[in-house]
Structure 1
Amino acid sequence: MTTPLIALTGATGFIGRHLLRDLTARGYRVRVLLRRPVALPPGASGAVVGDLARPQNMAAALTGVDAVVHSAGLAHAMSGAPEDDYRTFNTEATRGLAQAAARARVRRFVFLSSIRAQSGPSAAGVLTEADAPTPTDAYGRSKLAAEEALAAVDIDFAALRPVLVYGPGVKGNMAALLALAARPLPLPLGGLKGRRSIVSVESLADAIATVLHAPGELRRPFIVTEAEPLTVPEMLTALRAGLGRPPGLWPVPALLFDAALRLAGRGEVRERLSGSLMARADALGALGWTAPRDSREGLEALARLEVAHPTSG
C-alpha cells in the first residue's frame, strides 16, 4: 500500500513544527503548505507555496493527498488584531481550504481549533463537547465559525479543541509561567485555587494521529486535554521541580491579590490566574484515546529541556 500523504499547514509554527516531526516519525509522507518560499522544513517530503487566503489555487498542493492537517491561523496571542483579520485567516481560509480539499477528494480534514471556540478564559464546571459553545472573543468566535463552515462542506472532518498547549518552544501564557518559575525568588501565588486543564504538544500530536486513523465518519469537534487539571501553584511546583528547585510559593489573600491586579488594569490576567477552565476529552475517549502524557511529569520535562536547550522547539 502507498504510504499516506498528509498536507500540513502551519509547519513553521510552534505546534506545526512538532506535528511535522511526529507525523514523519509515524511513517506518513508530509507535504507542507507554505505562505512564502523558505528552506524545506526537516522531515517534509515536499512543499508547495501558496496563499491560504486564496485557497482556490490549492489544486496542485492537494493532488494525491489523503488528509489535511490545518494548524495555520491567526493566534490568540496576537491580541489587538481586528475581528475581520481573525475571520479572514481563521474562518474564511479554513472554509476555502476545506472546499479545495473536497474537490481534490481528500479523505479527512483535521482542523486545529481551540477550547476558546467553546468557552471564554474561565468556565464553571468541567467542559465537554456536549456543552453549547459560548466563545467570548474574536479569536474564539472565528474558530467556532470555522468549525461551522467545515460542517457545511462535503468532507469528513475533525475539529480539535485543545486546551492550553505546552511544549518546547511554547509562547504566550505558558512561556510566561515558565519564565516566572525560572526566577530565583519566592512567588506570591501559592493561594491560587483555580484549576486549568492543559495538554502537551506530544499528547496533541497523538490525538491527531487518533483521528487520522479513526474509521467511519467523524464530522464533529473533539476536546483535547490531559487528564488532571492543575492549579497555577501545582504547575509552578512541577516546573521548578524540573529546574531542580523547591516550589518557593507563599499565599496572598485572594481578595488582596485580585485587588492588586484590578488596580494594575490586568483583569484578564486575574481571570486566567484565579479562574478555572477544566475540560474532559470525552469524544476522543470514545475513540479509545487517552493522553500519553501526565501533565505534572510533562511540565517537569519541559523545564529540564528548556534549561538544557533554551531555544528548543
Structure 2
Amino acid sequence: MSRKVLITGASGFIGRRLVGALAKEGWDVRAAGRDMNSIPSAQRIERAALPDLAKPVDWSPLLEGVTHAVHLAGLAHAPGMLPDEVYERINAAAVGEIATAAQGAERLVFLSSVRAQAGLSSDHVITEADTPQPTDIYGRSKLAAERLVEGSGTAFTILRPAVVYGPDVQGNIASLATLARTPIPLPFGGLDNRRSLLALENLISAISLALTSSQAAGETFLVADTEPISVADLVAAMREGLGRSPHLMKVPAGAVKRMMASFGKEADWERVSGSFVVDAAKLRGIGWQPSVATRDGIRRMMCASGGNGTTMP
C-alpha cells in the first residue's frame, strides 16, 4: 500500500533533511514550506506552499490523499522577540487545527520541544515521568499544542527533542561556535556541567520510527543523544572539528560569567552554565537506535558548517 506523508516546515533546517530522508525510505512526500526553493526537488517529493500560520488555516488541501503527517512548522525559541499571542497562535492554535483536520490519517507526529517540560536547567535527569514545568511562552505554547493534539481524536505521537545540532543551523549557542573559531585560549576548561544534545540524524531516525511504530501510538517521547556532554568537551569538540587543539583554560565559573556579561552574553551564559540531562530511554525501549555520538556529531558539524551549527532549546 502506498504511503504518503505531509511534512510541514519542510524548508527549515530539520524539514529539508527529513524530506530527503523519508523519500529515500520509500515514502511519497508532500513537502510544505515557506520557501519552496529550499525544499529538495527529487522523485517522490511534491512541493507545496505552507499557509500563514498566524491566521486560521484550512489544512484540508494539504492533507488530501496523505496517510501520515509530520508537523514541524512553528516559531523557534526567541525570548522577548514576539508577543505571547503570536506564540499561542502559531505554536498552539495552528497545531490544534492540523490535528483536528488530520483525523483520517494513520498517524500525526508532532515535533514539540523539551522546553514544554523543563526550563533552561535541571537538578535531576529529565524523563517523561516528570510533571511538565515550562518556564517561558515558547515552552508553554508547545505544551498547549501537545494538549490539543492529545484531545483531537487523531492518532498521534509527540516528540520532545533536546538541543538539535547539525550543519547550517543558527541559534543562541552560535556564540560558542564563534568563539571556538578564534585562535585565543578559552576559559571553559572548568565547566563540567553536562547538557544533552540531539544530532539531526538521530532526530530524523526518531521521526521515522514514530511514523510507523505501533508502540509509539498515543505516546510522548523525549529525544536526545545517548550521552550528555560537558561545556568544556563541547567547545573542545568544536575546535577539534575545525582541526585545532582544544586550548581551554580552567577558570572559576564566576569569572567566566562576568566575562560573558561584559560582552552582553548573559542569556548565553544561562543556557550553557547549568546542567540539562535528558534520558530518552523510553524511546530507545521501542527500538530507536541513535547512531551518532554527540562528540562525533559536533566535530562533523563544525567541519561541515565552519562553526554555525547548533541551536539551544
TM-score computed with the length of structure 2 as normaliser: 0.91
Aligned-residue sequence identity (percent) comes to 41
CA distance in 2, matches of 1:298, 1:39: 24
Q: Summarize the Cα distance change of 1:261–1:246 in structure 2 as closer, same or farther, 3 Å threshold.
A: closer
Say if 2:86 is the partner of 1:85.
yes
Structure 1 alignment gaps of length 5 or more? none
Structure-1 residue corresponding to 2:46: 46
| Higher alpha-carbon deviation: 126-135 or 33-42 | 33-42
> In the alignment, which residue of structure 2 is the partner of 1:67?
68
Aligned to 1:213: 212
The DSSP-based 3-state class of the residue aligned with 1:57 is: coil
Output the amino acid matched with 2:291.
P
Instruction: For 1:110-189, list aligned pairs within 5 A.
Output: 110-189=109-188
Q: Distance in 1 between matches of 2:235 and 2:272?
A: 12
SS in 2 for 1:109: strand
Q: Secondary structure at the match of 2:214?
A: coil
Provide closer, same or farther for how the CA distance between residues 68 and 55 of structure 1 changes in structure 2, counting only shifts above 3 A: farther
Residues 310 and 190 of structure 1: CA distance in aligned 2, closer, same or farther (over 3 Å): closer
Instruction: Tell me the SS of whatever aligns to 1:68.
Output: strand
Pick closer, same or farther for the CA change 1:78–1:68 going to 2, 3 Å: farther
Q: For the Cα contact (< 8 Å) 2:36–2:47, is it kept in 1?
A: no
Q: Distance in 2 between matches of 1:295 and 1:15?
A: 17
Aligned residue in 2 for 1:97: 98
- Give the CA deviation at 1:264: 6.1
Q: CA RMSD in A?
A: 2.2
Amino acid at match of 1:64: G
Give the Å deviation of 1:56.
4.9
Contact 1:56 1:100 in 2 (8 A): no
Per the alignment, do residues 218 and 150 of structure 1 end up closer, same or farther by CA in structure 2, a change over 3 Å counting? same
- Structure 2 Cα separation of the partners of residues 12 and 113 of structure 1: 18
Mapped to 1, the partners of 2:81 and 2:308 lie a distance apart of 28
Deviation at 1:55, TM superposition (A): 5.7
Report deviation, 1:86: 0.5
Task: Tell me the secondary structure at the aligned position of residue 158 of structure 2.
Answer: strand
Q: Residue 78 and residue 137 in structure 1: after superposition, are their counterparts in 2 closer, same or farther (change >3 A)?
A: closer
- Shift of the alpha carbon at 1:237? 1.0
* 1:241 and 2:240 aligned: yes
* Aligned counterparts of 2:301 and 2:33: Cα–Cα separation in 1: 28
Gaps of 5+ in 2: none
C-alpha contact 2:5 2:66 (8 A) present in aligned 1: yes
User: Match for residue 294 of structure 1?
Assistant: 293
Q: Deviations over 1:154-175 (max 9, x none)?
A: 0111111111100011110343
Assess if the C-alpha contact under 8 Å between 2:172 and 2:268 holds in 1.
Answer: no
Aligned pairs, how many? 307
Q: Which amino acid in the other structure matches residue 46 of structure 2?
A: G
- Decide whether aligned partners of structure 1 residues 127 and 248 sit closer, same or farther in structure 2, where only a CA change above 3 A counts: same
